[in-house]
Amino acid sequence: MLHAAFLVPLFPLVGFVVLLAFGRRIGEPVAGWIGTLAVTGAFVSAIVTLAGLANQPAGARTLTCSDACGTGANAHSFFTWIAVGGLHVSAAILLDPLSMTMCMFITGVSMLIHLYSIGYMRGDRDFTKFFVYLNAFVFSMLVLVMASNLLVTFVGWEGVGVCSYWLVSFWFFRDSAASAGKKAFIYNRIGDVGFLLAVFLIFSKTGTLTYVSIFAHRHLLSGGSITAAVLLLFLAATGKSAQIPLFNWLPDAMEGPTPVSALIHAATMVTAGVYLMCRANPLLAMTPDAMWVIAVVGGLTAFVAATIACAQQDIKKGLAFSTVSQIGYMVLAVGSGAYVAAIFLMVAHAFYKGLLFLGSGSVIHGLGDEQDMKRMGGLRRTMPWTFATFLFAWLALAAVPPFSGFWAKGLLLANVYSKSLPLYALGLLTAFFTAYYMSRIFFLTFTGKERWKDPAPDGSPAHHPPHEAPWVMRAPLVVLAFFAVFAGAANLPWVHVGTLADWLAPVFGHRLFDSHQSAGEQVTLAVVDGVVAVAAALVAWGLWRRTANRPALEPRFLQRVWYWDNVYDAVIGRPGQALARMYAVVVDARIIDGAVNGAANLVRATGNGVRRVQTGFVRNYLLGIALGLAAVIAFMISRTWWS
């Protein structure tokens, strides 16, 4: 059963190749169904593999490929990829509870979103291309999480990056989409540099890239270098997972089609950074300093993004900042050593945030590509399915008991409480904002006056009455809603066997932060969480239920993202452009081109000179050979004199 692991990434790869080769001939909608089918195959294979892994005894649930690939029963390697000198890289799979957990929700959510996309992308001129990219993305993401070594992870890491670029600028004829794609790509590049440097550092110290061997030889990384390696990996994570200081790209990435936002920029890719941190947990455990940095960055990101989300008008931007904030929570958990809480929130978040995006996509679809919440309102009557499912997702994200978000965030905050009181306070404050902004989005969209009936202030006409989405779009909503409500059951605090924590325990072992809280403490913390969430929701209910016009609550400072982009522009952008201009005009045009032209002229002149020897006369050629022979013999004979 474990051999089904091969099929997990293989299915989307086959789907990708088939659609790439024949997609245009297959056309709409069959191409979409093929793409969906491929991911379904991956999902089924993941279930089979998971079942196989669960059958193993708890201690033997980490199946890797040893360096001598192809030997032993546990060798899950496709092939030796690179063998140069001491570097020996296999394209191999690491099967353990962590990677399988990731695989399960990645393939599951991807499957639903593929299905949804068939409806959402209907009539798009690049319908098949969309599914080509999506399948490529799923493949890359699976490579990322299933890789047994850093280099193959990096292949997946870059793969998802480029798929994200293609998909963000999928409608590249819009300038905003094109530049958003570019922005996403460049921000991620900064992180990728960190990743590469970390890989170099780890390889130079331990001489291996395989996770298992790195962890086995982690003592070779001394104090300074371990902190450097972890922080460099974390830099990569901040890029991919949109954390401070590299978070600005994610809101812009909402220029992509909504299924992309749901899949890549909410459920899966942006959690890759958190996954990487969890994967590297043995390294993290060696450097408490870096852990503190991670925790503080995560907490701050969660807070900053949550405040910004309170003032957004664009529904997708609001959700995007919410994603940044939620991932901030996960990073905070990682920094606190609460890996299980991070993964738990990641899984729950994948369900409810995916659902929120799909729901918003349904609204946007229904209103003819309207994204401004100020022009929505009262949609609960016209879009009942969307309304009902969005309702559950809202309650889950707001962490209202007993929905999934409550349990996940509760576990997380309880762990942070034991780690550091100030960070806990920050987290709790963020929780308040979270429930507030999410409720605001919900009320603005689904309750109150039906503002879409009025013409916009800027003169654009009123919208047609919205229509409910087709069944291919509704079905994923319902399934995701189910999980958004009940995903919390995976790790209820009073259950101790068969929980997510139990399942993941072999991966983290004793490195998992143990808060040692009494039952009374736990109950108190949970009550506090619940009260905060409900209170914030009630505040939002009072403020935003009827009106959409409260400028005092949407300060410019928050709307402009704490002026973060402006600071970057002033500090990095402008000087960078000036530098680039200087290089273009002076260095490139004069010095480099001069050197290139000079070298080219030199080669050409030499070539022209030398080829005069090439006369075409056999006698000259013979002379050449004879002279060469004479020279070689003369040299040889001279050796006898010297020796």
Partner 1 sequence: MIHLAAAAAGGFATPHIRYLAILPEIVMLGGAVMLLAVASLVRRSLRVGVATAATVAVSLGALGCSLWQWSDVTGQGAFTAVDHAVVVDGFSALVNVLVACAMALTALVGDGYLRREGADGPELHVLAMVSASGAMVMASANDLIVVFLGLEILSIALYVLAAFNHRRAASGEAALKYFILGSFSSAVFVYGIALVYGATGSTNLAQIAGFLSKTVLSSDGLLLAGMAMLIVGFAFKVAAVPFHMWTPDVYQGSPSPITGFMAAVAKAGAFAAFLRVLISSFGLLRTDWQPVVYALAIVTLLVGAGLAVVQRDVKRMLAYSSINHAGFVLLGLEAATTRGVSASLYYLFAYTFMVIGSFAVVTVVGRRGDAAHDISSYRGLARRQPLLAIMFAVLLLAQAGAPFTTGLWAKLQVVLAAAHGAVPLAVVAMVSAAIAAFFYLRVAVLMYSPLATAGETPGVQSPAAEPQALFSAGAPGGEGTPAAATAGSAVGATTTAGSALDSAGAASGDGATSRTLWTGLERSMAGIARINAALLLDEEPGRERMVGDAPPSPAGTGPSGETGVDAVDATGAVSAGPAPVPLLTAIAVGLCVGVTVVFGIWPAPLTSFAHQATLLFFP
Shortest distance in whole angstroms from residue 303 CB to partner 1: 33
DSSP assignments along 431-484, one per residue: HHHHHHHHHHHHHHHHSS--GGGSPPTTSPPPPPPP-PPPHHHHHHHHHHHHHH
Shortest distance in whole angstroms from residue 177 CB to partner 1: 10
Cis peptide before 402 (omega within 30 of 0): yes
Q: Which residues contact 456 (CB under 8 A, 6 or more apart)?
A: 372, 375
Token representation of residue 117: 């996309």
DSSP assignments along 381-446, one per residue: HH-HHHHHHHHHHHHHHTT-TTSHHHHHHHHHHHHHHHH-HHHHHHHHHHHHHHHHHHHHHHHHHH
Shortest distance in whole angstroms from residue 75 CB to partner 1: 15
Comparing CB distances to partner 1, the nearer of 63 and 177 is 177
Amino acid identity for residue 630 in this structure: A
Shortest distance in whole angstroms from residue 634 CB to partner 1: 9
Residue 340 sits at φ, ψ, to 5 deg, of: -60, -40
Comparing CB distances to partner 1, the nearer of 494 and 635 is 635
Comparing CB distances to partner 1, the nearer of 73 and 637 is 637
Q: What angle do CA 333, 347, 57 make, to 5 degrees?
A: 90
Comparing CB distances to partner 1, the nearer of 126 and 468 is 126
Interface ranges with partner 1 (CB under 8 A):
79-85, 169, 172, 175, 178-179, 181-182, 584-585, 588-589, 593, 596-597, 600-601, 603-604, 606-608, 610-611, 613-614, 616-622, 624-625, 627-629, 632-633, 635-637, 639-640
Amino acid identity for residue 277 in this structure: M
Helix (H) or strand (E) holding 78: strand 77-84
Shortest distance in whole angstroms from residue 181 CB to partner 1: 7
Shortest distance in whole angstroms from residue 536 CB to partner 1: 41
Q: Which residues contact 371 (CB under 8 A, 6 or more apart)?
A: 314, 315, 316, 364
Comparing CB distances to partner 1, the nearer of 254 and 330 is 254
**Beta partners for residue 314, in sequence order:** 372
Q: Identify which of 129, 123, 120, 130 has the alpha carbon closest to the alpha carbon of residue 471.
A: 120
Comparing CB distances to partner 1, the nearer of 110 and 208 is 208
Shortest distance in whole angstroms from residue 165 CB to partner 1: 10
Comparing CB distances to partner 1, the nearer of 4 and 168 is 168
Comparing CB distances to partner 1, the nearer of 172 and 292 is 172
What is the rounded distance in angstroms from the CA atom of residue 277 to the CA atom of residue 297?
13
Cis peptide before 575 (omega within 30 of 0): no
Q: Identify which of 278, 257, 393 has the alpha carbon closest to the alpha carbon of residue 330.
A: 278
Shortest distance in whole angstroms from residue 67 CB to partner 1: 13
Comparing CB distances to partner 1, the nearer of 22 and 621 is 621
Shortest distance in whole angstroms from residue 640 CB to partner 1: 5
